[in-house]
Amino acid sequence: MPENSINETEESSSYDAKERERELKFGKNYKWIALSNTTLGLLMATIDSSILIISLPAIFNGLHINPLAPGNITLLLWLLLGYIITSSAVVVTIGRLSDIFGRVKLYNLGFAIFAIGSTMLYVVSYTMTGVNAVIMLIVFRLLQGFGGGFLFANSTAIITDAFPAKQRGSAMGINQIAGILGSLIGLIVGGVLSAIDWHLIFLISVPVGILGTIWSYMALHEIASIKKGQKLDILGNFTFVAAIVLILLSMTYALLPYNSNNSGWSNPYVMLGFALGIILLALFVLIEIKVKDPMFTLGLFKIRAFASGMLSLFLAGIARGGLQFMLIIWLQGIWLPLHGVSFNNTPLQAGIDMTPMLLGFLIAGPISGHLSDKYGARIFSTMGMLINVVGFVMLATLPANFNFLDFALIIFGLGIGQGMFAAPNTTAVMNAVPPDKRGATAGMRATFMNISFMFSIVIFFTLLALGLSSTLTHTLYSGLIAQNVPPSAASLISKLPPSSTLFAALLGYNPIKVLLPSNVTANIPAPNYTTLTSTQFFPNLISSPFIAGMHKVMGVAAIMTFIAAIASFMRGKKPANNANN
């Protein structure tokens, strides 16, 4: 018998023995219980990360606040992005704590914190209004994000512990579907609930949080052995969290205009925060090299499968996160109004129109996860990213008023590519590290995903704003003058930063209605005002500048996914699974 066949037989026997040991100790169905509970937690956590994107107009209207008023845009950004900032900052620390004190214990704690934050959000939505209500919602969104960080940090590690290596790809396929599915479902659910009753947006996660907490406490068990004598790297944790918070805050405020600039990159506080964040990250690396029990073992980056998996994950996350925002703006600000959908109804319809991407992911995710158990991650993750490269290039060829079938087929293909990539890549990363590093690895992986989402928003928003700024001022001024808007008002509106226009489109507002001062609209002839506030005027006005910006966005996304494809290919062939079972 050939040597490699003997090795495969020995590995198979080892897998079977470990599987029987798990079944005897925790029950035959424990791995499916662990998968079900962690998938529920991850699904709810990711739904809450995106549910506000489409429902923000209903929330601010219910609280009697104009989110686009100069003093309120910061509140808008914090309510939208605070959840991601918090979970990104704490998830690696939580992962490391999980390796020390137990993954299930901290996962249970996270579910409880998530449930408390969700409950308080619902209470505030019913008992308060005005700016104070928004501030309290932000506070409890941060708490909810903190709880979500526990779920992000431990879901994949608990699954990796519960399943034998030869079944992890299939399990990760289901789990990763929930992760990315949740961000897409959040868009649709947010639109549906905001149309019924905006309070339900906060209520939906309350029963899930409570039931999930009880279920996880009763059903989950610690499988991984906890190495005694480990100490928490306090200095490393502090520098990492401070660095991530400073970088993400700087990136958030970079979205806001500063003085006469269209973005906040020239803001000295943004530049200082970003610089300090980079310095602290460099200090973090030095600390981790020296400390006995590091927060994260940087030596893991010497493992090719791990390093290439994390790099491709980060680049793919940037491309995917920004794509969601760009498609929403495209649909809500241009395509749907051109097809007669009122601005108030565009958020819900935009979520529905993005379901082809969701379907593509649902089809490819489980299949690629299952097949990667047998054939390895490289072929599927690489092909997935190459499909995305083609998808981004094809999106760049569409006109502003595209044929929906063409659009649906392209985003369906993008969903297929993302589904082919997600589960195999995650499984390869988790299989590449020693069992006692899985918590920290899962935390680092979740951090890379969350930070990539923030990077994508800032990078693509900035690129789109740059594309708009080159022609939007002249286009707006000419269009407004043609409809008898006074030159002084037309000049003022046309010089507003593109971000104001983008935020209005993202939130489903009629931008011209929002931008025109009331004292000006009172003096505009009725036929002209009807034209200005129609569903046709603004989309036709902005379509050419928008497409110019979209070309830049799609070009950068295609380059990033191509590099991610190269990184995926460089991970090497399917490795032998040994100590990681």
- Do 276 and 182 lie in one domain? The reply is no
pLDDT of 183 higher than 80 = no
DSSP character at residue 261: B
- Which helix (H) or strand (E) is 347 found in, with range? helix 346-353
| Region class of 130: left (phi > 0), else alpha (psi between -120 and 50), else beta | left
pLDDT in tens, 308-366: 888 898 898 888 877 777 888 888 888 998 898 887 777 778 878 888 988 888 888 77
Q: pLDDT at position 402, please?
A: 93
For the four alpha carbons of 334, 337, 340 and 346, in that order, the dihedral sign comes to positive
Q: Are residues 165 and 78 in the same domain?
A: yes
Residue 518 in this model has a pLDDT that exceeds 70: yes
The mean pLDDT value of the chain amounts to 81
Reported as a single tens digit per residue, the pLDDT across 433-444 is 887 777 677 777
Partners of 261 in the β-ladder: 258
Beta strands in 159-257 (DSSP E): none
Q: Which DSSP category does 296 fall into? A: S
More confident residue, 11 or 163: 163
How is 98-112 classified by DSSP, letter by letter?
HHHH-HHHHHHHHHH
Say yes or no to pLDDT of 143 above 90: yes
Nearest C-alpha neighbor of 221 from the set 31, 16, 91: 31
- Residues 208 and 84 reside in one and the same domain: yes
Q: Are residues 123 and 250 in the same domain?
A: no
| Residue 347 domain-assigned (yes or no) | no
How far is the C-alpha of 224 from the C-alpha of 102, rounded, in Å? 8
Q: How far is CA 147 from CA 168, 192, 439, in A?
A: 25, 25, 16
Banded model confidence at residue 226, pLDDT cuts 50, 70, 90: low
- Answer yes or no: is pLDDT of 580 > 50: no
Which residues lie closer than 8 Å to 204 by C-beta, 6 or more apart? 47, 51, 189, 193
One domain for residues 251 and 199: no
User: Confidence class of residue 238 from pLDDT cuts 50, 70 and 90?
Assistant: confident
Q: Tell whether the model's pLDDT for residue 373 goes beyond 80.
A: no
**In the structure encoding, which two tokens stand for residue 431, read together?**
């299989």
Whether the pLDDT of residue 578 is over 50: the answer is no
Apex CA 400: angle with CA 496 and CA 504, to 5°?
35
The CATH code of the domain that includes 165 is 1.20.1250.20
Is the model more confident about 526 or about 92? 526
pLDDT score of 270 more than 70:
yes
| Residue 508 confidence (pLDDT) | 66
Query: Does any domain span residue 381?
Result: no
Q: What is the pLDDT of residues 19-34, one digit of tens each?
A: 666 666 666 788 889 8
Contact yes or no for 411/434 (Cβ under 8 A): no
Containing 383, the helix (H) or strand (E) segment is helix 378-397
Q: Do 261 and 135 share a structural domain?
A: no
Confidence grade of residue 124 (pLDDT, cut at 50, 70, 90):
very high
| 317 within a domain of the structure (yes/no) | no
Would the pLDDT of 46 be above 60?
yes
In a domain, residue 577? The reply is no
pLDDT at 506: 67
167 & 49 share domain: yes
Taking residues 61-73, what's their average pLDDT?
77
For the cut 70, the answer to whether the pLDDT of residue 534 exceeds it is yes
Number of domains in the chain: 3
Examine residue 10 and state whether it is found in any structural domain, yes or no.
no
Q: CB 518: neighbour CB atoms within 10 A?
A: 6
Does the pTM surpass 0.75? The reply is: yes
**Tokens in use for 459?**
């990078």
Burial class, 276, CB count within 10 angstroms (exposed 0-12 / middle 13-18 / buried 19+): middle
Q: What are the backbone angles phi and psi of residue 90, rounded to the nearest 5°?
A: -105, -10
507 within domain boundaries: yes
Chosen domain end from 243, 261, 294: 294
Q: Give the model's confidence band at 14: pLDDT under 50 very low, under 70 low, under 90 confident, else very high.
A: low
CA distance 244 to 240: 6
The first and second tokens of residue 324, run together, are 């969601």
What's CA 240's distance to the chain center, in Å? 20
Instruction: For residues 144 and 537, give the distance between their C-alpha atoms in angstroms, rounded to a whole number.
Output: 40
Q: Is residue 276 part of a domain?
A: yes
In the chain, pLDDT over 70 holds for what percent of residues?
Answer: 89
Provide the residue range defining the domain that includes 100. 23-223
Q: Which of 27, 217, 211 is nearest to 107 (CA)?
A: 217
Which backbone phi and psi does 261 adopt, to 5 degrees?
-90, 150
pLDDT beyond 70 at 3: no
The answer on 192 and 245 residing in a single domain is no
- Greatest mean pLDDT range, 99-103, 387-391, 516-520, 526-530: 387-391
Q: Return the higher-pLDDT residue of 408 and 20.
A: 408
With 0-12 CB in 10 A as exposed, 13-18 as middle and 19+ as buried, what is 266?
middle
Q: Which of 181, 198, 223 is the last residue of a domain?
A: 223
Q: Which of 35-44, 495-504, 528-537 has the lowest mean pLDDT?
A: 495-504
H or E segment to which residue 220 belongs: none
Q: Are 280 and 218 in a shared domain?
A: no
297 SS3 class: coil
Query: Comparing 168 with 490, which gets the higher pLDDT?
Result: 490
**Residue that wins the pLDDT comparison between 470 and 193:** 193
Same domain, 150 and 120: yes
Q: DSSP 3-state helix, strand, coil percentages of the chain (rounded to 5)?
A: 80, 0, 20
Greater pLDDT, 101 or 409: 409
Rounded to a whole number, what is the distance in angstroms from the first to the last CA of the chain? 25
Are 272 and 152 part of one and the same domain? no
Flag the least confident range among 235-239, 331-335, 470-474, 501-505. 501-505
Tokens of 195: 């149309």
pLDDT at 17: 62
pLDDT over threshold 60, residue 220 = yes
Out of 294, 316, 334, pick the residue that ends a domain: 294
pLDDT number for residue 135: 92
How many residues are present in the chain?
581
Q: What gap in Å lies between CA 237 and CA 326, rounded to an integer?
A: 34
Residue 2 in domain: no
Statement: residue 370 has pLDDT above 80: no
The answer to whether residue 576 scores a pLDDT higher than 60 is no
Query: Tell me, what's the pLDDT at 409?
Result: 96
Please give the average per-residue pLDDT across 371-388, as a whole number.
86
Q: Are residues 101 and 168 in the same domain?
A: yes
- Cα–Cα distance for residue pair 293/286, rounded to 1 Å: 13
